[in-house]
Amino acid sequence: MDSWRETVFRCVRANVTERTRLVGIGTGRTVPVVLSVLRDVATEMETFASILCFASSFETARAIQEHGFRLGSSVAEELDVVFDGADAVDSSLNCIKGGGYAFVEEKRLAVQSRKTVVIVGKEKTDDGALWGYLGETKKEIRVAVLRSSAWLVEKEMKRVLALGGRGCTCSVVLKRSTETNAFPFVSENGFFVLGWNPFVCGVHDLFFRESLGRGVWSDVSQKIKGITGVVEHGLFCGVVTECCVAGTEKQRQC
């Protein structure tokens, strides 16, 4: 068993019981392995037919059906567990997600679940250890916005997230199609997506590390959501309950 599948098996086995019925599935390279392991574990427990899976994207929905699981169309009650990946995770289990542009649905599933388990490779960490704080990752944070509000949100984000007037303007850009770069990228939900990079200079790193402390990401998350026209963003604060790092024995729970 390779290290990636071994890590997924350990996480799924620890979070799925005979009573598990409603399971959320994220998007990305974790999905096929999670579904394969979940099928094996559920078959062993003789609960395979009882599990209903909920997808965060069209790609995931197809994978769920290909693995023989029933596909739920809407979530009307609390999920038992969500399995997902992440672009970056810090030691407080704050995450940056959105590389696959499915973060709107991924967050919807996460906040509706009793447990959200994130599985990442060592390349998403600091040599196998969770990042001390997200600023060390230099990852872009993506924001889904109403099409009619893209310019307004871009302007307001630069104003609201000026990071205390430290003399360094944050970078907020409208994501565009990688094929032509002429048209704005449209998410599966039909929203435009902005890319925000608060780590464009050392001033921001210093500000995040020393000035705002542990509550910084929760505060930033609320500020972004408070801007008119913002639908959701890829900053996950207070929703991930466990993180497993592939190729290591490292496992962090909140």
70-79 per-position pLDDT tens digit: 999 887 789 9
Start-end of H helices in the chain: 3-15, 30-45, 58-66, 103-111, 150-160, 202-206, 216-225
CA angle (222, 223, 227) in 5-degree steps: 110
Question: What pLDDT does residue 132 have?
Answer: 57
> Looking at this protein, which amino acid is placed at residue 169?
T
Q: What percent of the chain has pLDDT over 70?
A: 78
The pTM (predicted TM-score) of the whole model is: 0.87
Render pLDDT for 25-55 as a digit per residue (tens, 0 to 9).
Answer: 999 888 999 999 999 999 999 999 999 999 9
Q: Which domains does the chain have, with CATH numbers?
A: 3-130+237-253 (3.40.50.1360), 135-233 (3.30.70.260)
Which segments of the chain have a pLDDT < 70? 1, 124-138, 162-170, 178-182, 199-215, 247-254
Q: Which two tokens stand for residue 161?
A: 């997230």
Edge-to-edge strand order for the sheet containing 230-233? 171-174, 192-197, 141-145, 230-233
Question: What pLDDT does residue 168 have?
Answer: 46
Question: What pLDDT does residue 133 have?
Answer: 56
Question: What pLDDT does residue 136 have?
Answer: 60
